[in-house]
Amino acid sequence: MSNYYTTPIYYVNGEAHIGHAYTTFITDMLARYSRLKGEETYFLTGTDEHGQKIEESAAKAGKPTQAFADEISATFKNLWDEFEISYNQFIRTTDAEHKVGVQHAFKKMFDKGDIYKGEYEGNYCVSCETFFPESQLIDGEFCPDCGRTTNTVKEESYFFKLSEYEQKLLDYYEANPDFILPKSRRNEVINFVKGGLHDLSVTRTSFTWGVPLPASMNDDKHVMYVWLDALLNYITALGYGRDDAKMELWPAQMHLVGKDILRFHAIYWPAFLMSLDLPLPKHIAAHGWWTRDGEKMSKSKGNVVSPKEVSDLYGVENLRYFMMREVPFGQDGDFSQRAFIDRINSDLSNDLGNLLNRIIGMSGKYSDFVIDSVDVEKYHSAELEEMYATLDVVERHLDEVQTHRFLEELWRVFTVGNKAIEAHAPWVKMKEGKTDEALATVALVANVLAKASLLLHPFMPKTTNIIADTLGFEINTASYNALLKEKKLLDTFTIKKIGPLFPRVDEPLMEEAPKAMMEPEPKAEKKAKESKKAAPSKEDAAGLITFDEFFNTTLKIGTVVEAEEVPKSKKLLKLQVDLGEDELRQIVAGIKDYYSAEELVGTQVCVVANLKPAKLMGILSAGMLLAAKDEDGLCLVRPEKPRQVGSTIG
């Protein structure tokens, strides 16, 4: 079985933005997942370089069209290379081989009687490279898709008999209910087809930047319609019309597209393929549209998110994770740095990164970094069962590209590990002399991390390779089969000591979108804030304090990064706390009777952050932890749910 995945080919009229990166990330993830399972996989991407739009963009840039296309095509290819996108082939529609395949297909459709010569009179939108009948135009003039002005065109044209495929297409959708994904988009396509299909103009004479008709047709006035040329890339890449060796990869497993180009892929493309007597792709999967901070991205607004800029600042794998986790496949998504940072800090740094750091720390202390799964089943059969309850079923979400569901459920596996540490408190077991039990918990967590990392690999290939290396194994089909399908546990290994995989991010790293887009602070709210500041304290006498007096104390959420006992002290622990500042805060706290140093690491605390530094047993302490004490002892006050470090309390 072979799995052939494709991205759309990107127009070379501008540089890649976050929407392009999203399609590419998803396709890359699917290809990597398919390879991980050991299936033969082929992944195609590339650039769409013909048509009036490109010709006009090149003219505007004052460059010859081919040179302009070369330049922009290279920016896409370089970006995907920098992002380590695992494509097998990068096709360009200006490649000579592609042109041969397109001409071959055209001739075949013509000879079959599916293409005929006629005259076209209609309205053309250059930006969408699409004709629209008068009835569909807005105010008789504007493009129904992008709102731009259309041009009236009257010219000789060849037509494809799309109308003849109406019923065949409807029958196909009926017989293949999962042809269009997500299924919610299916009706949209069916209704469009039921509304009646007009024959499609597939050549143009008003410009020359396109594939000419086959020489044997003796009609050099025409070039091919860019969408016919572009869609055929999916088979010309496999040698269609030249050398069919790679055509055995056809039909594609899945074409990934944005919702705006679903119609071309789910209606025109299947009709062309039927005409060519070729099987249809198994799935067309359409994703939604990305906005930035709730606004449509556009060059004129200056709010286009550059994937290169984001990845330089936040890391490409964090971006991949965010985009595939944040948005249900098929729905529109919003790119906001706040949401992105929350995902990095909470899912990646807290849930995953800390888990790994905790077992590195514990195994270093308890077993000289050696981790052995020998007692995991004995002490943790319940946790293993809980973990497999997720691992056994989670992959089904990828069949329908439900990336957010997949990741959401996969995270339950990390929760099993985090919960096990809290519940079994290996540091207590060590004190009680139950070394086997303590080591079994550490080994359980190592296995949790190994198994979950295998499934996370297609989403975050480099990061998961580092995790696997730390855990003494390699991610490949053999380990996928052994650890996930045969449910084997890790062999004994020595864990490697590594630094934090996901450094926390506290402030947006990228310049925000232009200010004009931000909502001004409503006046009423501003006034209320000002009056709060000025409010006098009437209740001084009663010992009550004002709002402002309370806020003289700065209370913040912090994460304990390191903890150790203060030598010769019975009560004190020395902590390094991350408060989202440039440096960690050193805080000395008298809590040793109630907490061990190990169990504090990775947990969150509430800190009085503006306390004058003082020395305790000669050690500087720059802050205080909030705690509550009664006759049962002392407990720390902590946020109910993990919060961003440095969040103010109040």
Amino acid at 193: V
How many C-beta atoms surround the C-beta of residue 635 within 10 A? 13
Identity of the residue, 15 or 164, whose beta carbon is nearer to ligand MSP in the bound complex:
15
Question: At closest approach, how far in Å is the CB of 332 from ligand MSP?
Answer: 8
Does the protein bind ligand MSP through residue 8 (CB under 6 A)?
yes
Does the protein bind ligand MSP through residue 4 (CB under 6 A)?
no
Q: Which stretch binds ligand MSP (CB under 6 A): 9-17, 132-140, 354-362, 550-558?
A: 9-17
Question: At closest approach, how far in Å is the CB of 265 from ligand MSP?
Answer: 7
Q: What tokens does 72 get? A: 């922009």
Q: What's the CA gap between 3 and 385, in Å, rounded?
A: 32
Does the protein bind ligand MSP through residue 290 (CB under 6 A)?
yes
Contact 314, 463 (CB under 8 A): no
Contact 594, 633 (CB under 8 A): yes
Question: At closest approach, how far in Å is the CB of 56 from ligand MSP?
Answer: 15
Q: Which stretch binds ligand MSP (CB under 6 A): 18-26, 102-110, 245-253, 469-477?
A: 18-26
Which member of 31, 44, 261, 319 binds ligand MSP (CB under 6 A)? 261
**Which residues, numbered 142-201, are part of the site for ligand MSP (CB under 6 A)?**
none
Cβ-closest residue to ligand MSP? Answer: 258
Q: What's the CA gap between 322 and 311, in Å, rounded?
A: 11
Identity of the residue, 143 or 572, whose beta carbon is nearer to ligand MSP in the bound complex:
143
Which member of 19, 212, 270, 602 binds ligand MSP (CB under 6 A)? 19
Identity of the residue, 23 or 57, whose beta carbon is nearer to ligand MSP in the bound complex:
23
How many C-beta atoms surround the C-beta of residue 265 within 10 A? 24
Q: What tokens does 212 get? A: 């000419």
Identity of the residue, 292 or 556, whose beta carbon is nearer to ligand MSP in the bound complex:
292
Sign (positive or negative) of CA dihedral 568, 572, 578, 583: negative
Which member of 3, 9, 445, 598 binds ligand MSP (CB under 6 A)? 9
Question: At closest approach, how far in Å is the CB of 164 from ligand MSP?
Answer: 22
Identity of the residue, 10 or 124, whose beta carbon is nearer to ligand MSP in the bound complex:
10
Identity of the residue, 8 or 270, whose beta carbon is nearer to ligand MSP in the bound complex:
8
CA end-to-end span of the chain: 59
Question: At closest approach, how far in Å is the CB of 65 from ligand MSP?
Answer: 16
Question: At closest approach, how far in Å is the CB of 5 from ligand MSP?
Answer: 13
Rounded (10°) angle between helices 435-456 and 461-470: 160
Does the protein bind ligand MSP through residue 325 (CB under 6 A)?
no
Identity of the residue, 234 or 473, whose beta carbon is nearer to ligand MSP in the bound complex:
234
Nearest Cα residue to 453 out of 441, 444, 462: 462
**Which residues, numbered 85-144, are part of the site for ligand MSP (CB under 6 A)?**
none
Question: At closest approach, how far in Å is the CB of 286 from ligand MSP?
Answer: 8
Which member of 144, 239, 251, 258 binds ligand MSP (CB under 6 A)? 258
**Which residues, numbered 40-69, are part of the site for ligand MSP (CB under 6 A)?**
48
| CB within 8 Å of 258: residues ≥ 6 apart | 8, 19, 23, 286, 287, 288, 289
| CB within 8 Å of 162: residues ≥ 6 apart | 197, 198, 199, 200, 267, 268, 271
Question: At closest approach, how far in Å is the CB of 256 from ligand MSP?
Answer: 8
Question: At closest approach, how far in Å is the CB of 152 from ligand MSP?
Answer: 24
Q: What tokens does 558 get? A: 């912090």
Q: What's the CA gap between 402 and 182, in Å, rounded?
A: 9
Q: Which stretch binds ligand MSP (CB under 6 A): 8-16, 68-76, 146-154, 465-473?
A: 8-16
How many C-beta atoms surround the C-beta of residue 50 within 10 A? 29
Which member of 172, 289, 369, 388 binds ligand MSP (CB under 6 A)? 289
Place of tokens 């989403």: 459
Cis peptide before 182 (omega within 30 of 0): yes
Contact 354, 59 (CB under 8 A): no
Q: What tokens does 211 get? A: 């594939």
**Which residues, numbered 20-39, are part of the site for ligand MSP (CB under 6 A)?**
20, 22-23
Which member of 10, 321, 414, 480 binds ligand MSP (CB under 6 A)? 10
Q: Which residues pair with 181 in a beta bridge?
A: 285
| CB within 8 Å of 193: residues ≥ 6 apart | 166, 169, 170, 173, 267
Identity of the residue, 234 or 406, whose beta carbon is nearer to ligand MSP in the bound complex:
234
Is residue 496 helix, strand or coil?
coil
Q: Which stretch binds ligand MSP (CB under 6 A): 2-10, 149-157, 367-375, 513-521?
A: 2-10
Q: Which stretch binds ligand MSP (CB under 6 A): 6-14, 64-72, 446-454, 632-640?
A: 6-14
Place of tokens 């053309």: 124
Identity of the residue, 259 or 488, whose beta carbon is nearer to ligand MSP in the bound complex:
259
Identity of the residue, 267 or 563, whose beta carbon is nearer to ligand MSP in the bound complex:
267
Q: What tokens does 374 get? A: 């020998």
Does the protein bind ligand MSP through residue 11 (CB under 6 A)?
yes
Site string for ligand MSP, 212-251 (x = CB under 6 A): ------------------xx-x------------------
Identity of the residue, 68 or 427, whose beta carbon is nearer to ligand MSP in the bound complex:
68
Place of tokens 């799309």: 162
Place of tokens 């019975």: 570
- DSSP label of 142: B
Contact 447, 487 (CB under 8 A): no
Question: At closest approach, how far in Å is the CB of 273 from ligand MSP?
Answer: 13
Q: How do 40-48 and 89-92 pair as beta strands?
A: parallel
Identity of the residue, 269 or 595, whose beta carbon is nearer to ligand MSP in the bound complex:
269
Q: Compute how many residues bind ligand MSP; rule: CB under 6 A.
A: 19
Identity of the residue, 285 or 439, whose beta carbon is nearer to ligand MSP in the bound complex:
285
Q: What tokens does 560 get? A: 């304990």
Q: Which stretch binds ligand MSP (CB under 6 A): 17-25, 101-109, 492-500, 566-574?
A: 17-25
Give how far Cα 521 sits from Cα of 301, 508, 524, 529, Å. Answer: 21, 20, 9, 11
Does the protein bind ligand MSP through residue 15 (CB under 6 A)?
no
Furthest-apart CA pair in the chain: how many Å?
101
Q: What's the CA gap between 30 and 136, in Å, rounded?
A: 37
Q: What tokens does 373 get? A: 């799964």
> Which residues of the chain form contacts with ligand MSP (CB under 6 A)?
8-11, 19-20, 22-23, 48, 230-231, 233, 257-258, 260-261, 289-290, 297
